Structure 1
Amino acid sequence: MKNNFIYLLIFSLVVITVAEMIGFQFIPIGSFTLTLLPLVFAIILTMVLGIQFLRKGILKKVYSKENVSFSSKYLIFIMLPLMARYGADVAPKLEEILSIGWVFIIQELGNLGTVLIGLPIAILLGLRREAIGATLGIGREGELAYISEKYTLESKEGRGVLSIYIIGTLFGAIFFSLFAPILLSLGFDVRALAMASGVGSGSMMTAASSTLVATVPEMESTILAYASASQLLTSFLGTFTMVFLAAPLQQVMYKLMVRSDDKWNNQKQSTNM
């Protein structure tokens, strides 16, 4: 385990160095300009090098089960300094943030979008109990903890939330780093996009806000303050929204849609017979 961890540490430093050397990349696509962060390249490198047939020699030791388990278990400790940074970014703009505080609170209702939009799509795709875990939220630590406590991660609900957690970890930062500048090019206010960056995921928030800063560098302090405040609020209020609003709404919608879907399937089978 100790030797494998040393390989993991060295590998991480090498990937970070390569990603920083690549730096910010701006790709013009028509009237849009996509901004790719070093974070995106770091994720892509670790994904590519983790492909099964490439995991030989040192890479096999880097991607050992012990290292993968260690990384997922102690990820929260890596995020703690980032949370402290959020607080430091919010403080200088606190008065401005408080003046529009109601907007941040209203934004939390957006957490219901995964249920209102995601659950019907999941049911149509054929998911059942897995949809409970997959659509309760964006599959970050809060949803993971709630589902694991209520259903266990070995349940169908647990498999659903774990799938979204993994997908979000692999592709979330990439998606947000591309999506934020596209919306900015379409005319959305940079402050609104900065607020929308705080979705409850540190990596996704960092990716979105960093691309906004790269596009509008003169508003760096405002973007980081709004994004950090939104992230902190989502981490706090988002838990209550999930437990008291999203989860009950999801249960009601799930029962109604599954019952209707099963009834429609039975009628279809009867017609075919």
Structure 2
Amino acid sequence: MKRNFLYLLIFVLVIIFTAEMIGVQSVQLGSISIGILPLVFAVLITMALGLKVFRKGFWKKIYSESNINFSSKYLLFIMLPLMARYGADVAPHIREILSIGWVFIIQELGNLGTVLLGLPVAILIGLRREAIGATLGIGREGELAYISEKYTLDSDEGRGVISLYIIGTLFGAVFFSVFAPVLLAAGIRVEALAMASGVGSGSMMSAASASLVASMPDLQSTILAYASASQLLTSFLGTFTMIFLAVPLQRFMYKLMTGRQKQ
């Protein structure tokens, strides 16, 4: 176990060093400049090395079942310093944030978009009970815990939420790092995009806010403060929004569109 942990630590340090060496790269799409961050390169490199063709020798030890289980089990401890950083970013702007606090609360209703928009699409492409797990939020830890407790992960609903969780883990940070500057170039205010970055996923928030900072470095403190405050509020209110608003709405829409009563 100690040897596997050492391999894992070396691997993480190599990935971080490689991503930082690549640095921030810009891709020009017409009038839109998209900054590709080291975080995105780290995710892409890790994904590529996880392919079966590379799982030989040293890489096979890195992607061993014990390392994978260890990483998933102790991910929370890695996220704790990030949560502390959120608080440090929010503190200098606390008065400004409190003055528009109601906006942060109202934006929580945006979490219902996965049900309002995602559920009809999921049913349209042929999903049924899998759609229940796949459209209840963005498939992070809160939704995963709720679905696993109510239905178990071996159920159709469980397969839906775990599929979304995996997709979000693999591609979420990459998508948000590209999507945020595209919306900024479309004319949406940077404060609004910073608030929208706090979707309940640390990696997605970091990717989106870092892309915004790369585009507007003079507003770095404001962007990070708004994004961090939104992330903290989403982490706190997200469960209540899901249970008291998203679940009843999803149950009603599912029955309406399929004629079946969700258990």
Q: TM-score range by the shorter chain?
A: over 0.9
1:165: which partner in 2?
165
Letter in 2 for 1:50: G
Letter in 2 for 1:47: M
1:193: which partner in 2?
193
2:248: which partner in 1?
248
- Partners of 2:104 and 2:199 lie apart in 1 by 11
Question: Is 228-237 or 251-260 further displaced after alignment?
Answer: 251-260
Deviation at 1:55, TM superposition (A): 0.6
**1:96-125 residue CA offsets vs partner (Å, 9 max, x unmatched):** 001111111110000000000000111111
- Partners of 2:12 and 2:158 lie apart in 1 by 29
Letter in 2 for 1:198: G
TM-score (norm 2): 0.97
1:105 equivalent to 2:123? Answer no
- Partners of 2:66 and 2:2 lie apart in 1 by 10
Deviation at 1:10, TM superposition (A): 0.6
SS across alignment from 1:34: strand
2:92: which partner in 1?
92
SS across alignment from 1:206: helix
- Partners of 1:26 and 1:203 lie apart in 2 by 20
Deviation at 1:7, TM superposition (A): 1.1
- Partners of 2:75 and 2:248 lie apart in 1 by 30
1:213: which partner in 2?
213
SS across alignment from 1:82: helix
Deviation at 1:2, TM superposition (A): 2.5
Deviation at 1:203, TM superposition (A): 0.2
Letter in 1 for 2:122: A
1:8: which partner in 2?
8
Deviation at 1:219, TM superposition (A): 0.5
TM-score (norm 1): 0.94
**1:61-80 residue CA offsets vs partner (Å, 9 max, x unmatched):** 00011111111111111111
2:238: which partner in 1?
238
- Partners of 1:256 and 1:181 lie apart in 2 by 37
2:147: which partner in 1?
147
SS across alignment from 2:33: strand
SS across alignment from 2:259: helix
2:135: which partner in 1?
135
2:80: which partner in 1?
80
Letter in 2 for 1:7: Y
Letter in 2 for 1:145: A
**1:156-207 residue CA offsets vs partner (Å, 9 max, x unmatched):** 1111111000000000000000000001111111100000000000000000
1:21 equivalent to 2:44? Answer no
Letter in 1 for 2:159: R
**1:119-158 residue CA offsets vs partner (Å, 9 max, x unmatched):** 0111111111111110000001110111111111111111
1:68: which partner in 2?
68
1:49 equivalent to 2:20? Answer no
SS across alignment from 2:174: helix
1:126: which partner in 2?
126
Kindly report the root-mean-square deviation, in angstroms, between the aligned alpha carbons of the 2 structures. Answer: 0.9
Structure 2 unaligned segments of length 5 or more: list them. none
- Partners of 2:252 and 2:52 lie apart in 1 by 41
* Aligned-pair identity (%): 75
Letter in 2 for 1:12: V
Q: Number of paired residues?
A: 260
Deviation at 1:239, TM superposition (A): 0.9
Deviation at 1:3, TM superposition (A): 1.9
- Partners of 1:157 and 1:16 lie apart in 2 by 35
